[in-house]
Structure formats: C-alpha cells, structure tokens
Amino acid sequence: MVLTYEQVRAYELPATEGKRGDPRWPAFARRYGFAPRRPVQWEVEALEPAELRRLVLAAFDPYVDRDVLARQNAREEEQRRALAAFWDGWDAAGGGVYS
C-alpha cells in the first residue's frame, strides 16, 4: 500500500532513511522540498492497525463487486454450518478429541 505525502503529513509518520538509487526520489524531493541526495521514506506499518485496515478497505471498496461478495459470503456461511453440523455429529458419535 502507498500513502500520499499529504497522508504522511496528516498522520505525522516518522521518516527513515530511504533507499539510495531510487530513480523516483529526485523528482519527489524537488516536488516536496526534500534534499535530493538524502532520500527518506515512511513506513505504512507505523499507522495504528485499525487505521491501516480502514485505509486498505477504503482503497479496495470501489473495486468490490457487491453481488459477488454477497454470494461468496453466503457460500462461506453455508460451509460454516455444514462444518458445525459435521462436528456436532462427530462429537455426538464419540469421535471428538475431548470425549
């Protein structure tokens, strides 16, 4: 995942030394007023996990086909019920590990 520079500033993420030789760095440095010979980078992992999750989900949201997602969720629920019924039957027949 990539954050915009505006997000980096808004979240006040700490900078770390960047990768020397990154061909994109000089243009970025000029655009945002950084030293072209001292690349920096920001780690998206520095965000709180809940906020990172929110950002990732928001980035994917426009590309999610709601009908496909609903069918997949229904299919997974059917599988959960089938597994639960199997487990209940297995346990009732004395096949459970903890019997």
Successive 10-residue mean pLDDT values, the chain, 99 residues: 85 90 91 91 90 93 96 98 92 67
Q: Return the pLDDT at 61.
A: 95
Q: Return the pLDDT at 4.
A: 86
Q: Return the pLDDT at 44.
A: 87
Residue spans per domain, the chain: 1-47
Q: Return the pLDDT at 65.
A: 97
Instruction: Please provide the size of the chain in residues.
Output: 99
- The reply to whether the predicted model has a pTM over 0.85 is no
Q: Return the pLDDT at 1.
A: 62
Taking phi over 0 as left and psi of -120 to 50 as alpha, with beta for the rest, 69 belongs to: alpha
Residue appearing with tokens 């960047």 = 18
Torsion of CA 7, 23, 18, 20, to 10 degrees: -170
- Confirm if 13 and 46 have CB atoms less than 8 A apart: yes
CA angle, residues 99, 77, 51, in degrees to nearest 5: 105
Q: Return the pLDDT at 30.
A: 92
Which helix H or strand E contains 15, and what residues bound it? strand 15-17
